[in-house]
Amino acid sequence: MSADPAFSGEVRRAAEWVRSHLAAAGLQAELVETGGPPIVYAESAPVPGAPIALVYGHYDVQPPDPLDEWVTPPFEPTIRDGKIFARGATDDKGQMLTHVASIASWLETSGRLPLQVKLLIEGEEEVGSEHLGNFLRANADRLACDCVVISDTSQFAPGVPAITYGLRGIAYFELRLSGPKQDLHSGVFGGGVANPANALAKMLGALIDEQGRVTIPGFYDDVLPLSERERAEFAALPFDEGAFRRQLGVDSLAGEAGFTTIERRWARPTLDINGLTSGYQGQGAKTVLPARASAKFSCRLVPNQDPQRVAAALRRRLEELLPAGIRLELVEHHGAPGIIMPLESPYLQAAAAAVEKGFGRRPVFIREGGSIPVVNTFAAVLDADVLLLGWGQNDDNPHSPNEKFSLDDYHRGIRASAALWQQLAAITEPLK
C-alpha cells in the first residue's frame, strides 16, 4: 500500500513484478525513479500510420485494514465462487492486468500489435500521484499518444458495461486540534477547560447543514451545474435504490437535498470524514479529557472547483469555528480537480465497439464519483482523449475489506482490450 512508508519495499516489489511481466509479454520494460514509488514504463514497436495508445494503471493499493473483516488475508489472493479476493483485485491490479494479458496474447498469436501501445503503470495513485505530473511534463515527447486507456473504474451494473466520461476530484485534509498540555481527569478538569474532542465534533458537525450542504462559504461558487440532459440520462439508467440500500446494509440513503442518489454520487461535491482520533480507545471506560483530537476528511469535488481554493476557504471557515482555548493545525494532503470529457471522440466510439465485443452489450456512458488524480494532466499535457473503460462492479469492495474481481469480468475485460487494439488501429488517420 502506498499510504504508509513502512511498506515502500513491498510497493517496489510490486513494481518489479509488473516490469517482469511486461518484459515476459515481449515489451521493452523499465522502472523509472521519480522520488516516490517507481513508474513502470513499457512500449511495443511503433506502427507507422496507426494511432498510439497509452495504457495507464496503478500497482499500488489502499491500506487493507480492518484486517479482521477479511475472510481470507488481503495479500493472499484466493478464488471463491468465481471471484478473486485480494487487496487490489479490482483497484487496480486485476483491471490493469487485462491490458497486459491482451497485449501478451496479441504478441503471442500475431507476433505484433496492430498499433503502438505504451504502458505507464504507477505506484502512488492511491495517494494523489504526486510525482507523476512532473514525469508526464518532462517526458511528453516520449509519451506522445492519441488516446489514454484506463481501466480503473466500474461497470454500471452486472451485465451493463460502461464507459465513464466524468470523475470527481478531491481535496484531502487532516485537522489537528490541541488543548491542555496533557490528558486530564475529566471529573477534576471537565467544565473548566475546552475539550479538543468536543471542539472537533462541533467544528466538523458545523461543516454540513441539515440539507446535506457543505457550509464552507464559496464552496459551491464554481460548481459546474448538471444539465437537464444529463439529469434525464442519469434518471434513465437502470438504478435500483432498494438493491443499493441492501448492498450497503442501510435502511435509508442520505446526501444533499434536491438531487438524486446518482447525481449526488457522480456530479455533486461532498465532505466526508475518513478517520477520527482522540481520547481513550481501549477496552472499558476511562474518564479522560484528551489533550488532542484529530480528523482526516476529504471533499469530493466536481468539475470547475479548484482544490486550492477549496482548501483556502476551508481554512478560513475552520478558523472562524475554532473555540477559545483550542489550537488548530490544518494539513493539506493531496488534491486533484474533477473532469468531464467530450463524448464526440472517434477513439471513444472505437472503445464502445470493443467493449461490446468483450461484454456482449453496448456500454452506457456514465460519470463516477471516485477520482483518478492524473486524468486532467493526461488531457492537458498529452492532449489525448482519455478512455475510462471500467471492468469492475460497484460491489467489488475497493478500499474495503474483501475486495474482489470476478474472473468472468477479468476475462471479458481481456477480450474487450484485445478488440480495442484492433478497433483503434482501424482509425487510420490519427488526429495528430
Which partner in Zn ion, ligand BES, none is near 154 (CB below 5 to 8 A by kind)?
A: ligand BES
Nearest Cα residue to 50 out of 114, 120, 143: 114
**C-alpha cell of 179?**
488543548
Q: Which range, of 138-146, 147-155, 276-284, 379-387, touches ligand BES by CB under 6 A?
A: 147-155
Bridge pairing between strands 162-167 and 385-390:
antiparallel
Q: Which range, of 76-84, 248-256, 263-271, 370-378, touches ligand BES by CB under 6 A?
A: 370-378
> Hey, is 411 helix, strand or coil?
helix
91 lines the binding site for ligand BES (CB under 6 A): yes
Which partner in ligand BES, Zn ion, none is near 21 (CB below 5 to 8 A by kind)?
A: none
376 lines the binding site for ligand BES (CB under 6 A): no
**C-alpha cell of 92?**
487496480
- Environment class of residue 229 by beta-carbon count within 10 Å: exposed (0-12), middle (13-18) or buried (19+)? exposed
Q: Which range, of 45-53, 151-159, 259-267, 312-320, touches ligand BES by CB under 6 A?
A: 151-159
Of residues 157-186, those binding ligand BES (CB under 6 A): 167, 170
Nearer to ligand BES, 95 or 294 (CB): 95
124 lines the binding site for ligand BES (CB under 6 A): no
Cα–Cα dist 364/74, whole Å: 32
303 lines the binding site for ligand BES (CB under 6 A): no
User: Other C-beta atoms within 10 Å of 256: how many?
Assistant: 17
Instruction: Quote the DSSP letter at residue 110.
Output: H
Cα–Cα dist 374/371, whole Å: 9
Phi and psi of 25, rounded to 5°? -75, -15
64 lines the binding site for ligand BES (CB under 6 A): no
Contact string 91-110 vs Zn ion (x = CB under 5 A): x-------------------
- Choose, from 43, 91, 122, 125, the residue flagged as catalytic: 125
373 lines the binding site for ligand BES (CB under 6 A): yes
Contact string 322-361 vs ligand BES (x = CB under 6 A): ------------x-x-------------------------
60 lines the binding site for Zn ion (CB under 5 A): no
Concatenating the DSSP letter of every residue in 336-373 gives E--EE--S--HHHHHHHHHHHHHHSSPPEEEE-SS--T
CA distances from 392 to 152, 156, 406 (A): 8, 9, 8
How wide is the angle at C-alpha 143 spanned by C-alphas 142 and 147, nearest 5°?
A: 145
Sole binder of ligand BES in the list 51, 57, 128, 358 (CB under 6 A): 128
Q: Side chain identity at 140, as an amino acid letter?
A: A
Active site residue 409: no
Q: How far is the CB of 406 from ligand BES (least distance, A)?
A: 15
Residues 6+ apart with CB under 8 A from 75: 64, 86, 87
Concatenating the DSSP letter of every residue in 50-71 gives S-EEEEEEE-------SGGG-S
Q: How far is the CB of 369 from ligand BES (least distance, A)?
A: 7
368 lines the binding site for Zn ion (CB under 5 A): no
Q: How far is the CB of 185 from ligand BES (least distance, A)?
A: 40
Nearest Cα residue to 419 out of 341, 374, 353: 353
Q: How far is the CB of 335 from ligand BES (least distance, A)?
A: 8
372 lines the binding site for ligand BES (CB under 6 A): yes
β-sheet bridge partners, residue 231: none
Q: Which range, of 138-146, 206-214, 364-372, 378-386, touches ligand BES by CB under 6 A?
A: 364-372
Nearest Cα residue to 350 out of 298, 282, 425: 425
Instruction: Note the helical H segments in 288-432.
Output: 307-321, 346-359, 375-377, 407-425
With contact defined as beta carbons under 8 Å apart, do 243 and 157 qualify?
A: no
Cα–Cα dist 350/166, whole Å: 18
Nearer to ligand BES, 152 or 409 (CB): 152
Which partner in ligand BES, Zn ion, none is near 385 (CB below 5 to 8 A by kind)?
A: none
51 lines the binding site for ligand BES (CB under 6 A): no
Bridge pairing between strands 78-80 and 162-167:
unpaired
370 lines the binding site for ligand BES (CB under 6 A): yes
Contact string 244-283 vs ligand BES (x = CB under 6 A): ----------------------------------------
Active site residue 60: yes
Q: How far is the CB of 182 from Zn ion (least distance, A)?
A: 38
Q: Which residues are catalytic?
A: 60, 125
Residues interacting with ligand BES, by CB under 6 A?
91-92, 125-126, 128, 152-154, 167, 170, 334, 336, 368, 370-373, 398
